[in-house]
Amino acid sequence: MTQATAQAHPNIALVKYWGKRDTALNLPATGSVSMTLDVFPTTTTVQVDASAAEDEFILNDVLRDGVPAERTRRFLDIVRAMAGTDARARVTSHNTVPSAAGLASSASGFAALAGAAAAAYGLDLDDRQLSRLARRGSGSAARSIFGGFALWHAGDDEESFAEPLAAPADLAMVVTIVDAGEKQVSSREAMRRTALTSPYYPAWVSSTEQSLAAAQEAFRDADVARIGRITETNALRMHAAIQGSDPSIRYLSPTSVAIFDRVEQLRAEGLTVFATADAGPNVVALCLAEEAPAVDAALAAFAETVIAHPGPGLRLVAEGEQ
């Protein structure tokens, strides 16, 4: 029996991935840009056991079945095909981010699983190959292979990987935990429904292509104000497209909207801060690291908050190490 353990952190997109060009290969409709956080890591161990009849997926000490187990099994099938073996595995994962609350647990989860499974099955993959592999589990996981900022390219299977982007400044994110409960509609289903039924989906895709080009330019220019404006606008456009689905889906709660308003006020008061939100009510404020305590103090009036800085990329954890 061979085993390996890997750790990865969630990431929050500044230019979002929302919609697929190919569901089998999990290719995104557009590229995206993110910051990997230094909080909420997922640590995953994969034990390959040639004598086991089935894969097992244990998340936070609970043996899982249904969709999470099925997604894990399908991901392991991809790794097994690459490694040329049928051997089953036990996957034991510890997630410190509230699962499925729109706080990017699938990003850290599949990035850690890609790293641990590749190592346990004896594959020697570079970061680019790991990013392509992680993408197959969950699109956003392609970006969590890298620490700091990352750009994930759209394109075909070969070309659709993430790579690091130089930090434009000393930035931080204040994560608000408006609701840590499981969301009603998964991002996978909501993404599908948006693409199939929202009349705003084509406009979302074309405007995101423009935002991505503008964001890359703003990163090169280290223009934080422009990066922030692109981030906030792109998030609100994504939520508008989602709300345009039939049946409609609304991820932002009244508290989320109040936080967006407060962030705008903080800007009027002179802080460099911008809001974004993934597929859930938890708003994340992007700000200058030196201003994170002031932003945190203001947003703590609405919800529990966590200050995050740019975090590390995927790493293998040695046996006995924590």
The residues of the shown chain that bind ligand DP6, judged by CB under 6 A, are 13, 16-18, 26, 32, 104, 106, 138-140, 187-188, 191, 278-279
- Distance CA(11)–CA(141), nearest Å, equals 8
232 or 278: CB nearest ligand DP6: 278
- Distance CA(8)–CA(144), nearest Å, equals 7
Helix axes 127-137, 66-83, angle to 10 degrees: 140
Residue 246 CB: number of other CB atoms within 10 A?
11
43 or 106: CB nearest ligand DP6: 106
Least Å distance, CB 235 to ligand DP6, is: 9
121 or 251: CB nearest ligand DP6: 251
21 or 229: CB nearest ligand DP6: 21
Least Å distance, CB 85 to ligand DP6, is: 25
Least Å distance, CB 110 to ligand DP6, is: 7
20 or 226: CB nearest ligand DP6: 20
- Distance CA(225)–CA(259), nearest Å, equals 19
Q: Which helix (H) or strand (E) holds 79?
A: helix 66-83
- Distance CA(64)–CA(10), nearest Å, equals 21
Least Å distance, CB 256 to ligand DP6, is: 13
Rounded alpha-carbon distances, angstroms, from residue 136 to 26, 75, 85, 110, 141: 6, 7, 19, 9, 9
Q: Which helix (H) or strand (E) holds 149?
A: strand 149-152
Least Å distance, CB 1 to ligand DP6, is: 29
Least Å distance, CB 99 to ligand DP6, is: 12
Residue 231 CB: number of other CB atoms within 10 A?
26
DSSP 118-143: HHHTT----HHHHHHHHHHH-TTHHH
68 or 168: CB nearest ligand DP6: 68
Least Å distance, CB 17 to ligand DP6, is: 4
Least Å distance, CB 27 to ligand DP6, is: 10
71 or 88: CB nearest ligand DP6: 71
Sign of CA dihedral 58, 62, 64, 68: negative
The answer to whether residues 69 and 248 touch, using CB atoms and an 8 Å cutoff, is: no
Q: Token match 């859930």: residue?
A: 280
User: Amino acid letter at 74?
Assistant: R
227 or 266: CB nearest ligand DP6: 227
